[in-house]
Amino acid sequence: MPRHRYRVVPMVMIAPYFALMLFNGFIPLLVAIREVANPSWVNLNGSYTTLFRILKDFRVVPDLRHTLFLLLVFVPLTIFAALALSLLLDATALRGNTFMRLVFLLPGVAAGGISVLIWMYFLGRHIAWNPGNVKWLITGIAFSSGAGSWVVIQYGSLRSISHEVLEAARVDGCNRLQLALRIKLPMISRYVGYMSILLTAAAIQIYNEPALLNADGLTSNWWSLNQVAYSYAFQTADFAGGTALSLDMLIPSIVIGVFFILKTDFLKRDAYQ
């Protein structure tokens, strides 16, 4: 069979992904970049300086503190828990291993909004929360709804490690802890970096949890930067201001992603051989 026929199959398989990426990623991004330059009450003359003027909003600095808290607590906690549990699952050959993977995956099936409703059902509206401690509640909700999925994903990356490599390490005298820290973690470092990027983006762009908690009066309607962007776009009809703040939130994720691609071997073919 000609070689070009072998190339048709993968192109057909990735075509839906490229279509979704085009219509739900690139085209909206181009429209957003164009929208920022339109006049708004943040920038009456209209220009790309709206990207900087929007940051002068009095709500931005408190929301940045909330974002920084999530980056310092939620992201490291999720990474540590996902790696620790996936390493334990991979190192333990039990009859119920498959069932435990399912248990970890089930919380991730519930979206962030559903997790908030479940948490509020068990906590009850009669509990009086200190507004300064709500960030811990939001961190707990985000962690419980996402950590399980990452456990299963990282477990899959651990299972891709060659059995010969692990066996050679055992012959050299590695115990389970040394095998995990010195062999397994370095070999899945690219997947850990990938997880870090997505968790960072989720922390910066968090919306569902504080927005739903606002219905019970536990948060303000501008607890997160995404809520402020929503307020600009759909409550005051300032699409340029809302788009500008959304792009400001996107920039850190792009910078981290580009750094990750350029400074690691994630996209190098020989890294997977």
Whose tokens are 């927005």? That residue is 211
Residue type, 44: L
Q: What is the pLDDT of residue 169?
A: 87
Neighbours of 66 (CB within 10 A): 19
Taking the CA atoms of the chain, what radius of gyration do you get in angstroms? 22
Q: Tens of pLDDT along 170-197?
A: 888 888 888 888 889 988 888 888 898 8
| Entry field: residues in the chain | 273
Distances (CA, A) of 74 to 161, 186, 265: 28, 23, 26
Whole-model pTM: value is 0.83
Domain ranges of the chain: 57-272
Residue type, 154: Q
Q: In 110-171, where does DSSP find H-type helix? A: 112-123, 134-159, 163-171
Q: What is the pLDDT of residue 112?
A: 56
Q: Tens of pLDDT along 110-139?
A: 655 677 777 777 765 666 677 778 888 889
Q: What is the pLDDT of residue 159?
A: 85
Q: What is the pLDDT of residue 34?
A: 92
DSSP assignment of 17-39 equals HHHHHIIIIIHHHHHHHHHHTS-
**SS3 call for 93:** coil
Q: Tens of pLDDT along 77-117?
A: 999 999 998 888 888 766 666 676 677 666 656 655 677 77
What average pLDDT does the chain have?
83
Q: How confident is the model at residue 6 (pLDDT cuts 50, 70, 90)?
A: low
Rounded to whole angstroms, how far apart are CA atoms 263 and 75? 21
The CATH H-level (homologous superfamily) assignment of domain 57-272 is MetI-like (1.10.3720.10)
